[in-house]
């Protein structure tokens, strides 16, 4: 059982992450550099910044990519700290779209989506058709990964040590939060952590009481990517990453005081446990954002006090290039083009 469980989980998680990457990359190719233009022009007001972050992340299916783009724009002096934080808050909301899609249990469409997606992606001549095929292929592989994980964890329903662990998480939510935060930081995907939790709930292994601490922990673990992206960045870029961490930890700590009431509230949203888990993920981030927005200016002042320093934007060298963008080729090419145009204008001026 152990070998089948490990390989089933590893294989299913690999398929899920690969499918999500294909889906994300296909959507990014469709949108092109319009994502960055939207972020630059629609983030003047905090509410618009949150809406922009949520919209972009729901489109590209990656809060990590949104965080990296945001820090890159901050380094280039195109976004202020306040604008960047509002986008990051919105990205937290946008990333819950993946959990919502997964919770509808569309795995029966996985193989047809893979078959049709393959035909479009590999045989079509038009780029738009190829991108559509890649999106469909990613969608199918994502759900195939969920199906694989769900079946792999089936035997755990009768495995006493694991059931005892879930019982401990229900009684000690802090344990679940720490485990989920570490796991999410390692795989760098809160959506994948949520998918695993949903896969277990499909098999009837996990209830909403044990799932919520894991969902809360995944929101802390996802800050790790922004932290990596901020290394070597400007002081404002580092403040963005710190804001992300403080915002998510603050929300988790607050919800810990009302975790039982929150579980009851979520249980009223649906009779399906997978849907409840997805709704918990969304509600946590929406409520967290609603609490922060009225106090955003005070929050920014706190971050500046914790990480003091003069905001200096030095626009020289490859200001638009960031090695973290290599995971999103379409955005990396867009940034490289923007950097080349910047150099061309400078040479012309000389």
| pLDDT value of position 343 | 46
| Paired tokens of 123 | 């045989």
Q: Which of 114, 156, 169, 145 is nearest to 9 (CA)?
A: 145
**Residue 216, number of CB atoms within 10 A of its CB:** 27
End-to-end CA distance of the chain, in Å? 69
Q: What is d(CA 42, CA 49) in angstroms, rounded to the nearest whole number?
A: 7
pLDDT digits (tens, 9 = 90+) for 17-46: 888 888 878 877 776 666 666 666 666 788
Residue 36's pLDDT is 61
Would you say the pTM of this structure is higher than 0.85?
Answer: no
Structure confidence by residue, pLDDT tens digits, 174-225: 999 999 999 888 887 888 889 899 988 888 888 898 899 999 999 998 888 7
CA dihedral 254, 257, 261, 265 (to 10 degrees): 10
Distance CA 252, CA 284 (A): 9
Tell me the two tokens of residue 204: 């009837």
Q: What is the pLDDT of residue 324?
A: 52
Contact 214, 170 (CB under 8 A): no
In this prediction, residue 177 carries a pLDDT of: 92
pLDDT computed for residue 287 by the predictor: 95
Structure tokens at 232: 């070597």
Residue numbers of the chain with a pLDDT score lower than 50? 313-317, 343, 345-350
């Amino acid at each position: 059982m152990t070998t089948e469980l490990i390989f089933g989980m590893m294989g299913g998680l690999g398929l899920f992450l690969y499918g999500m990457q294909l889906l994300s990359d296909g959507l990014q190719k469709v949108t092109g550099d319009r994502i960055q233009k939207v972020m630059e022009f629609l983030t003047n007001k905090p509410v618009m910044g949150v809406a922009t972050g949520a919209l972009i992340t729901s489109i590209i299916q990656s809060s990590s990519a949104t965080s990296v783009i945001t820090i890159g724009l901050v380094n280039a002096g195109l976004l202020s700290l306040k604008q960047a934080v509002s986008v990051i808050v919105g990205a937290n909301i946008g990333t819950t779209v993946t959990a919502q899609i997964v919770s509808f249990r569309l795995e029966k469409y996985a193989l047809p989506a893979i078959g049709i997606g393959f035909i479009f992606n590999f045989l079509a001549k038009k780029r738009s058709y190829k991108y559509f095929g890649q999106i469909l292929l990613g969608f199918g592989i994502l759900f195939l990964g969920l199906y694989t994980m769900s079946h792999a964890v089936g035997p755990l329903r009768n495995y006493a040590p694991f059931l005892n662990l879930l019982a401990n998480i229900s009684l000690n939510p802090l344990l679940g939060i720490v485990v989920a935060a570490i796991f999410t930081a390692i795989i760098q995907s809160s959506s994948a952590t949520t998918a695993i939790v949903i896969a277990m709930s499909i098999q009837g292994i996990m209830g909403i009481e044990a799932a919520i601490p894991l969902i809360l922990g995944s929101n802390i673990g996802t800050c790790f990517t922004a932290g990596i992206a901020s290394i070597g960045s400007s002081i404002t870029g580092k403040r963005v990453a710190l804001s992300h961490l403080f915002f998510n930890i603050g929300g988790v700590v607050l919800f810990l005081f009302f975790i039982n009431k929150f579980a009851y509230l979520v249980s009223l949203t649906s009779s399906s446990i997978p849907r409840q888990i997805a709704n918990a993920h969304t509600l946590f981030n929406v409520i967290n954002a609603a609490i922060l927005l009225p106090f955003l200016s005070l929050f920014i002042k706190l971050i500046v006090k914790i990480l003091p320093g003069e905001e200096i934007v030095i626009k020289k060298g490859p200001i638009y290039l960031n090695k973290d963008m290599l995971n999103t080729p379409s955005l990396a090419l867009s940034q490289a083009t923007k950097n080349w145009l910047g150099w061309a204008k400078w040479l012309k001026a000389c």
